[in-house]
Structure 1
Amino acid sequence: MTTSAPGRARALLDAALPAPGEPRLLALSWLIKTVGSGLYLTTSTLFFTRVVGLPVHQVASALTVAGIAALAGAVPLGKMADRFGPRPTYTGLLGVQFATMAALAFARTFPVFLALILVFLLAEQGSTAARGALVATVGEGVERVRLRAYLRVVTNVGVTIGAAASALVIQADTTAGYMALLWCTALTYPAAAVPLRWLRARESRPAEKAPPTGSGWQVLRDRRYAAVTLICGVLSLQAQVLSFAVPLWVLGHTEAPPVLVSGIVAVNTVMVICLQIRFSRGAEDDRRAARMCRDSGIALFAACALVAFTGGMDGRPATVLLLLFAAALTFGELWLSAGSFGLSFSLAPDGMHGQYQGFFSLGRGAATAVAPVLIAVLCLGDHPRAGWLVLGALFALAGAAAPLALRAPAPS
């Protein structure tokens, strides 16, 4: 019996999207939010310097200080999601982000800017934990990892849409344009909360058998989860290699054409969109997820080895090696995303996904904070080839440690 054309089209659509109902509503909410992220990431620095009038060094220092301080809120806000439910907590934090983003349009002094950006990043840190707990309540086992993989794809699609939409504003370079874009960004937060109204995910419940002491902060005593968080945090330095190191390396250390920076980002984006879901299959199994982290370390070592030899190389061979570097770096990202999805969910006890997801976000947050200095010293300093190889070895060692981390005892 043959399937009709509409039936085949529906089957293809269902395969390309999260499952109907709650997973698809959560993906829609995340798409709206990440479009706002794309708008913000591409124009925020321009707004704060050209419209607000702050010097670049003040903007940079405020973002660094606020980003580090906001890490302190990850576990407490995640624990709040466990207590009050991930959906109301996440919705409330979206409201806080809307209010602070809207208020930033009127900030004209450094202290006001610093205070607002601190609250905004604190809410962002908490929303990461609450969203992770929400994913845990919407899906179970393989569906959790699959949904998280979909959200990873949605992130790339949403940020790309937002960045493309901001291009005209950047080209015009007017105060009115930047103000309008900031308001549009602010409005994406309440818009992202709208699909959650129809989300009837079961709220997480406290674990039935909690340890007699310290159960409210169990994640702080979980050495196995701490080890996995550290390993995935080290591997997540790859994100800053793409966003921070690649533009400076291509323009300042190679003969490759400057447009290759955009080409490398395009290769990364397309590969993640096309391959993330496939690479995430089987990540619900702890051992397989740990092996994915190990493979990520190997791929990232290969990427660093490739880029190490492009310094001073002629344009054409440098271009070829840099495109191979982009592919290897993205394979490392794909395996890391899949492995970290699986481990961060499966190693967390039921009823505690909020605090555990909050703690897990500390690894990437700390990596984001230290990455610019670390990469600048190793890869953009006086001995860049050796520095790239050292960074690659760090990735390989972290990946190799992932299977070993599972041997650490869980809290009793």
Structure 2
Amino acid sequence: MTIRPQRFLALAQLANSVGDGAFYVTSALYFTRVVGLAPARVGLGLTLAWAVGSLVGVPLGRLADRRGARGTAVLLALGTAAAVGAFLLVRGFVPFVLAACAYASAQSGLAAARQALLAGLVPAGERTGLLARLQSTLNGGLAVGAALGGLALNAGTAGAYRAVLLLDAVCFVGCALILLRLPAVASVPGTATATATAVAVAGERREQRFAVLRDRPYALLALLNAVLLLRLPLLSLALPLWITERTGAPAWLASVLFVLNTGAVTLFQVRAARAVTGLATAVRVLRRSGVVMFASCAVFALSTGQSAWPAAVILVAGAVLQVVAEMQQSAGSWQLSFDLAPADRMGEYQGFFGTGVTVARTLGPLVVTSLLMGWGTPGWLLLGALMPVAACAMGPAARRAAGRAERTVTEPALAG
């Protein structure tokens, strides 16, 4: 593969991540202060939206397989821009939920379509390394966007918040234009198939629709990955609450931990991914990430009741361990998600695997706030204990999925 498609993939990632970073740090205050929604209603609406997004990720991924990954990704990027623009017009709960559902659905589908596009453009042996570089780009863009969003937070005006939403919409339009510069990836069925052949295989295609839902080993991998992704709400939700309510550390430390995380991923994700070269190394790195994440949660728990400086030192140490676990988990899960998915159903399988992110976004806030703010230290330890258990279970699940994939390939050949 030439460097040109890689560069455009990275630029597209950078464009929408800058907008996302600004949106993430300002959206809650926009919906509560400008739109006038109660915080509980905002949380309910986003939970409903990401639940819908998790359901539509698979069919939209399948659409990318059938109609072409590039075109589908472009349309979904434009759809995301339109959904963000709709947030500028909402004035009540129901319109907010509808716009949020459109946003979450377009984001979930875009993630699946981009993974299918990447799979069509990048040889299998290069995907994990490229994904690591894209993850670094993503975090760099989030950091830049968060800084821009911070300017709006400092201004605190409705116009400043609306400017952030406009920026996010423009960034997704830019993402769509960049994706158009990439080579097209052929759809799976092929548009030039003769009518007679299409009729002959129509019944078989109906039977194979959403085959990923019947691929139990792969589905188990996606479920275990969703458990590992419960770390997602820690930086944006759990730690800010924990810092202000359970420690003597200053509230601004939460932003320091965010910058530390995104900066570390930007600088070191590619290096962390070099250790992952196949299924065996992916499983080993995932097991290691589970142990490190448990250690991170245990260190965070030690900050309970500590005064400012001791709490700050402990929280920074926990955040360092957390980002190490994050980079390892990301690299290992990328390898498994691609290597164990059929080449002709990559969008569908990536869409399903990607629902782990939407599940974590949907359930994660409720889980982590209930455990951590409700139970304190025992909650940290319980959350931490889930991580090595799920990570170690990825190994047997991956071996079962690999065995099933081999049988799927060899059985038609034997039958022929």
Same fold (TM over 0.5): yes
- Select which of 381, 406, 409 maps to 1:389: 381
Which deviates further from its counterpart, 401-410 or 291-300?
A: 401-410
More helix by share: 2
Q: Once the 2 structures are TM-superposed, how far is the Cα of residue 180 of structure 1 from its aligned partner?
A: 2.5
Q: Determine the C-alpha separation between the residues in 1 that align with 2:27 and 2:89.
A: 14
Contact in 1 for aligned 2:26/2:149 (Cα 8 Å): yes
Q: How many residues in Structure 1 have an aligned counterpart in Structure 2?
A: 393
Contact in 2 for aligned 1:285/1:342 (Cα 8 Å): yes
Deviations 1:178-218 (A, max 9, x none): 222222221111111112222115335359x9996732322
Q: Determine the C-alpha separation between the residues in 1 that align with 2:151 and 2:253.
A: 22
Residue segments in structure 1 that go unaligned for 5+ positions in a row: 1-17
Name the aligned partner's letter for residue 268 of structure 1. N
Q: Determine the C-alpha separation between the residues in 1 that align with 2:223 and 2:35.
A: 37
Whether 1:410 aligns to 2:415 is no
Q: Once the 2 structures are TM-superposed, how far is the Cα of residue 19 of structure 1 from its aligned partner?
A: 6.1
- Identity of counterpart residues, as a percentage? 37
Aligned 1:78-157 pairs, distance under 5 A: 78-157=61-140
Which deviates further from its counterpart, 188-197 or 83-92?
A: 188-197
Whether 1:293 aligns to 2:286 is yes
The equivalent of 2:196 in structure 1 is none
SS of equivalent residue, structure 2 residue 185 = coil
Contact in 1 for aligned 2:64/2:116 (Cα 8 Å): yes
Q: Determine the C-alpha separation between the residues in 2 that align with 1:167 and 1:275.
A: 25
Aligned 1:16-31 pairs, distance under 5 A: 20-31=3-14
The equivalent of 1:335 in structure 2 is 328
Q: Determine the C-alpha separation between the residues in 1 that align with 2:366 and 2:255.
A: 23
Name the aligned partner's letter for residue 239 of structure 2. V
Q: Determine the C-alpha separation between the residues in 1 that align with 2:301 and 2:166.
A: 42
Quickly say closer, same or farther: Cα 1:315–1:177, change in 2 above 3 A. closer
Q: Determine the C-alpha separation between the residues in 2 that align with 1:243 and 1:177.
A: 21
Deviations 1:144-168 (A, max 9, x none): 1111111111111111111111222
Contact in 1 for aligned 2:143/2:259 (Cα 8 Å): no
Contact in 1 for aligned 2:212/2:349 (Cα 8 Å): yes
Q: Determine the C-alpha separation between the residues in 1 that align with 2:217 and 2:107.
A: 26
Q: Once the 2 structures are TM-superposed, how far is the Cα of residue 336 of structure 1 from its aligned partner?
A: 0.5
SS of equivalent residue, structure 1 residue 391 = helix
Q: Determine the C-alpha separation between the residues in 1 that align with 2:377 and 2:185.
A: 52
Contact in 2 for aligned 1:284/1:346 (Cα 8 Å): no
Deviations 1:40-84 (A, max 9, x none): 112222222222222322222211111112211011000000000
Q: Determine the C-alpha separation between the residues in 1 that align with 2:149 and 2:14.
A: 16
The equivalent of 1:246 in structure 2 is 239
Contact in 2 for aligned 1:244/1:372 (Cα 8 Å): yes
Whether 1:179 aligns to 2:165 is no
Q: Determine the C-alpha separation between the residues in 2 that align with 1:258 and 1:184.
A: 27
Q: Determine the C-alpha separation between the residues in 2 that align with 1:262 and 1:179.
A: 22
The equivalent of 2:193 in structure 1 is none
Deviations 1:279-318 (A, max 9, x none): 1114340111111111110000000111122211233333
Name the aligned partner's letter for residue 275 of structure 1. F
Name the aligned partner's letter for residue 145 of structure 1. T
Q: Determine the C-alpha separation between the residues in 2 that align with 1:148 and 1:223.
A: 25
Q: Determine the C-alpha separation between the residues in 2 that align with 1:94 and 1:64.
A: 21
Q: Determine the C-alpha separation between the residues in 2 that align with 1:334 and 1:376.
A: 23
Quickly say closer, same or farther: Cα 1:376–1:170, change in 2 above 3 A. closer
Q: Once the 2 structures are TM-superposed, how far is the Cα of residue 176 of structure 1 from its aligned partner?
A: 2.2
The equivalent of 1:12 in structure 2 is none
Quickly say closer, same or farther: Cα 1:284–1:219, change in 2 above 3 A. farther
Q: Determine the C-alpha separation between the residues in 1 that align with 2:287 and 2:223.
A: 14
Deviations 1:346-398 (A, max 9, x none): 111112111001100112221221122221222211x4111211111111111
Whether 1:63 aligns to 2:55 is no
Which deviates further from its counterpart, 348-357 or 279-288?
A: 279-288
Deviations 1:246-282 (A, max 9, x none): 1111111112333322222222122111110011114
Which deviates further from its counterpart, 228-237 or 162-171?
A: 162-171
Aligned 1:148-297 pairs, distance under 5 A: 148-203=131-186, 205=188, 214-297=207-290
- Select which of 294, 304, 312 maps to 1:311: 304
